Chains A and B, each alone.
Chain A
Amino acid sequence: MNKKTPYILIMPIVLLGVIFIFGVVNGIIQSFGYIPAFNLVNVTLSYYKEILSDPTFLDSLKVSLQISVISSVLAAILGIILTAALVYTGHTEGRVLQVIKLAIIIPHTIVALFSISILSQNGLLARVFYRSGLINTQRGFPLLLYTKNNLGIILGYIWKEVPFVAYFSLALMSGINNTLGEASENLGASKLKTFLYIILPLSMPAIRKAFLIILTFSFGAYDLPFLLGATVPKALPVQAHIEYIHPNLRHRPYTMAINGLILAVTWAMAGIYYLVTKKGRVKGDIHEEF
Chain B
Amino acid sequence: MKNFKSNKLLNIFLYISLFIISVPMVILLLWTFTGRWPWPNLLPKTYSLRAIKEIFAPHARIFQTLFSSMLLSLSVAILSVIIGIMTARALTLYDFAGKKLIAFLSIAPNLVPGTVFAMGIHIVFIHMLLSDTVLGVIIVHLVYTLPYSVSIMRDLTQSIGERLEMQAYVLGASPFKSFIYITLPLLVPGIKTSIGMAYIISSGQYFITLLIGGGKVKTFNMLMVPFIAKGDRALGSAYALIFMVSTLLILIITDRVTKKLPYQNDGRKYKWNWN
Residues of A within 8 A of B (CB): 1-2, 5-7, 9-14, 16-17, 19-28, 30, 37, 78, 81-82, 84-86, 88-89, 91, 93, 96, 99-100, 102-110, 112-114, 116-118, 120, 122, 124, 126-128, 130-131, 138, 159, 162-163, 171, 190-192, 213, 216-217, 219-223, 226-227, 237, 240-241, 244, 255-256, 259, 262-263, 266-267, 270, 289
A191 adjacent to B115 (CB under 8 Å) = no
A222 adjacent to B114 (CB under 8 Å) = yes
The yes or no answer to B224 lying at the interface (CB within 8 A) is yes
**Other-chain residue from B24, B124, B203 in contact with A107 (beta carbon distance below 8 A):** B203
| Residue interface bits B158-175, CB-to-A below 8 A is 1, else 0 | 000000000001000001
Bound-complex Cα distance A100 to B203 (A): 19
The yes or no answer to B180 lying at the interface (CB within 8 A) is no
- Taking CB atoms, residues of chain B closer than 8 Å to A192 are 6
Closest A residue by C-beta to B24: A114
Instruction: Known contacts A159-B24, A192-B6; decide if A23 and B117 are in contact (CB<8 Å).
Output: yes
**Other-chain residue from A2, A21, A102, A244 in contact with B119 (beta carbon distance below 8 A):** A244
Bound-complex Cα distance A120 to B210 (A): 27
B119 adjacent to A27 (CB under 8 Å) = yes
Bound-complex Cα distance A268 to B256 (A): 43
B142 adjacent to A116 (CB under 8 Å) = no
Residues of B within 8 A of A (CB): 2-3, 6-7, 10-11, 13-14, 17-18, 20-25, 27-28, 31, 39-42, 82-83, 86-87, 89-90, 94-96, 102, 105-106, 108-121, 123-124, 139, 142-143, 146, 150, 155, 169, 175, 200, 203-204, 206-207, 221, 224-225, 228-229, 231, 233, 236-237, 240, 243-244, 247-248, 251, 268, 271
- Taking CB atoms, residues of chain B closer than 8 Å to A30 are 120
B150 adjacent to A13 (CB under 8 Å) = yes
B25 adjacent to A102 (CB under 8 Å) = yes
A220 adjacent to B116 (CB under 8 Å) = yes
Q: Which of B102, B108, B119, B124 has the most chain A CB atoms inside 10 A of its CB?
A: B119
- Taking CB atoms, residues of chain A closer than 8 Å to B25 are 102
- Taking CB atoms, residues of chain B closer than 8 Å to A24 are 112, 116-117, 120
Task: Write the nearest CB–CB distance from B248 to chain A, whole angstroms.
Answer: 7
Task: Write the nearest CB–CB distance from A48 to chain B, whole angstroms.
Answer: 15
Could you list some 27 contacts between A and B, CB below 8 A?
A1-B175, A10-B96, A13-B150, A16-B83, A16-B143, A17-B106, A19-B143, A23-B117, A24-B117, A27-B116, A84-B10, A85-B13, A88-B10, A102-B21, A103-B21, A105-B248, A114-B24, A114-B27, A116-B231, A159-B20, A191-B6, A219-B113, A227-B228, A237-B116, A259-B116, A259-B120, A262-B115
Bound-complex Cα distance A12 to B87 (A): 8
- Taking CB atoms, residues of chain A closer than 8 Å to B224 are 109-110
Instruction: Known contacts A6-B94, A10-B102, A13-B106; decide if A82 and B40 are in contact (CB<8 Å).
Output: no
Main secondary structure of the interface of B (DSSP, over half): helix
- Taking CB atoms, residues of chain B closer than 8 Å to A112 are 228
B244 adjacent to A262 (CB under 8 Å) = no
Task: Write the nearest CB–CB distance from A209 to chain B, whole angstroms.
Answer: 10
Closest A residue by C-beta to B23: A118
**Other-chain residue from A20, A114, A270 in contact with B117 (beta carbon distance below 8 A):** A20
**Other-chain residue from B10, B11, B42, B116 in contact with A128 (beta carbon distance below 8 A):** B42
Closest A residue by C-beta to B221: A109
A106 adjacent to B244 (CB under 8 Å) = yes
- Taking CB atoms, residues of chain A closer than 8 Å to B40 are 126-127, 130-131, 138
